[in-house]
Amino acid sequence: MKIQKLLAQKQGPLVMGIVNVTPDSFSDGGRYNSVESAIEQVAHMVELGVDIVDVGGESTRPGAAKVGLNEEAERVLPVVQAIKNRFDVAISVDTYKPELMAEALKLHVDMVNDVKALTMPNAVEILADTDAYICLMHMQGTPQTMQSDPKYTDAINEIINYLDQRLTVCNQAGINNDRICIDPGFGFGKTLEHNYQILNQLDKFNQLNVNVLAGLSRKTMIGAVTGKEPEQRVYGSVAGAVIAAMKGAKIIRVHDVDATIDALKVLNATISTETENK
């Protein structure tokens, strides 16, 4: 219920901070350091006012190698437990593997963020028995192949139709729309043009009457127009976050929590004048 409560209480979109638990972040030190470094990231984000932390143990970036279930679970679960022990922040787990969803749900995570929109066997059933919040993301192809030749006749409508079908499957399993957000999946089987088309028309996704999540932080679509490497994509990413929020996104998934929160405060101050009685 935590996420629904936050959505109801907060003016403007929730900020979801990305916590990557991948070998890069613990190349020299093994598991203990990986948990410690993730906790440091989380502590910093919580201090800045993040609403949700999104813990992921398998990179789904284009071309990234797959990670086995056990490896992913050994990365993610200790971090989830450590966050639970120390912070009151809402926790999301970024995984498409139903077995890991089940384990994470036993630890009472608040949200399951699935880049495969609960298409793996049993994923829907596992979530149906809980009250966790869910993100259904669209992807064309798989992370290994998705950027080789993405093709659509009408990208926006095809993505909306896909997400609509996934919503129907969830609804039929007893998962109501108030537990779900949808995500067009920036960079997941989309050309640069598709990505900017989707951002420009992100408001169209509101026709499905569920909250929209947008994740474009430091992605290739930002690098392609700024000419910058991932760590230098903060300003471009913040611009993208503000545009997404203006088009109605209710959750923004980001690396740069501080910069994004400031930018969204400015947007919220602007928008709130529309509803004030003056």
Nearest to 127 by CA among 80, 156, 169: 169
Phi-psi region at 221: left, alpha or beta (left = phi > 0; alpha = psi -120 to 50): alpha
Q: Which is nearer to ligand 7PJ, 94 or 103 (CB)?
A: 94
Q: How far apart are CA 54 and CA 259, in angstroms?
A: 17
Taking CB under 6 A as the criterion, the residue among 19, 80, 83, 135 binding ligand 7PJ is: 135
With CB under 6 A as the contact rule, the residue among 17, 57, 215, 240 that binds ligand 7PJ is 215
Q: Contact between 96 and ligand 7PJ (CB under 6 A)?
A: no
3-state SS class at 111? strand
CB of 272 to ligand 7PJ, least distance (A): 27
253 is catalytic: yes
Is position 219 annotated as part of the catalytic site? yes
* Total number of residues that touch ligand 7PJ (CB under 6 A): 14
CA angle (221 as vertex; 220, 225 as ends), nearest 5: 105
Site for ligand 7PJ in 41-80 (CB under 6 A): 60-61
**Which 8-state DSSP code applies to residue 68?**
-
Contact 182, 213 (CB under 8 A): yes
Among 31-39, 70-78, 103-111, 181-189, the segment contacting ligand 7PJ (CB under 6 A): 181-189
Q: Which is nearer to ligand 7PJ, 20 or 34 (CB)?
A: 20
- Closest-CA residue to 260 (of 16, 40, 8, 61): 16
Structure tokens at 7: 């959505």
**Residue 202's closest CA among 259, 139, 159, 144?**
159
- Exactly one of 113, 147, 195, 237 binds ligand 7PJ (CB under 6 A); which one? 113
By annotation, the residues acting in catalysis are: 219, 253
- The residue ranges that bind ligand 7PJ (CB under 6 A) are 60-61, 94, 113, 115, 135, 137, 183, 185-186, 213, 215, 219, 253
